[in-house]
């Protein structure tokens, strides 16, 4: 067990995505959902990537999902796991799987969002296994 925490660079924040990071600062995961076709998406965009409608609204995500795929980076000073998490809302996010035994990560595992501080920027959402 290592006590070393990885450092995360500050994300790029533009006006289109600013509400996402404002919510992240409050510990809330937000997604964009299209009211024309009903699909949620991530990264947040003003124009729906599925049907090109501009009728997209912010919704609060449950912050829960399952690991779709992952990969453990070991040849670095602090090993870490990156992966894709499919949220309950049907959106798949590229993210990090954190605060867990990297050898115990499994595809299909239930995870929940946690927000990690960045260097000089808003926190970013990552995921950790749900304790049953
Ligand atoms: Zn749409």
Q: How far is the CA of 123 from the centre of ligand 1 (A)?
A: 28
Q: Ligand 1 center to residue 42 CA distance, Å?
A: 12
Distance 40 CA to ligand 1 centre (A): 8
Please report how many Cα atoms fall inside a 13 Å half-sphere around the Cα of residue 121, on the Cβ side. Answer: 18
Q: What SS3 state is found at 5?
A: coil
| The predicted structure's pLDDT at residue 5 | 75
Residues around ion ligand 1, judged by CB within 5 A, are: 34, 36-37, 48, 50-51, 53
Does residue 3 register a pLDDT over 70? no
User: How many other CB atoms sit within 10 Å of the CB of residue 106?
Assistant: 10
Place of tokens 């990969």: 71
Going from the Cα of 69 to the center of ligand 1, the distance in angstroms, rounded, reads: 26
| Residue 116 Cα to ligand 1 middle (Å) | 30
Output the CA 58–ligand 1 centroid distance in Å.
Answer: 13
- Whole-angstrom Cα distance, residue 87 to residue 90? 5
Q: What is the pLDDT of residues 74-128, one digit of tens each?
A: 999 899 999 999 999 999 999 999 999 999 999 999 999 999 999 999 999 999 9
Q: In this structure, how many other beta carbons lie within 10 angstroms of the beta carbon of residue 74?
A: 9
Q: How far apart are CA 64 and CA 76, in angstroms?
A: 28
Give the confidence band of 11 by pLDDT, cuts at 50, 70, 90.
Answer: very high
């Amino acid at each position: 067990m290592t006590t070393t925490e990885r450092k995360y660079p500050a994300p790029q924040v533009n006006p289109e995505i600013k509400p996402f990071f404002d919510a992240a600062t409050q510990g809330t995961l937000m997604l964009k959902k299209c009211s024309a076709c009903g699909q949620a998406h991530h990264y947040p965009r003003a124009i729906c990537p599925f049907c090109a409608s501009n009728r997209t609204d912010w919704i609060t995500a449950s912050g829960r999902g399952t690991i779709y795929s992952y990969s453990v980076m070991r040849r670095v000073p602090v090993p870490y796991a990156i992966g894709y998490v499919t949220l309950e809302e049907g959106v798949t996010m590229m993210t990090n799987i954190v605060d867990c035994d990297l050898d115990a990560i499994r595809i299909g595992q239930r995870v929940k969002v946690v927000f990690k501080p960045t260097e000089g920027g808003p926190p970013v959402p990552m995921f950790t296994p749900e304790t049953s």
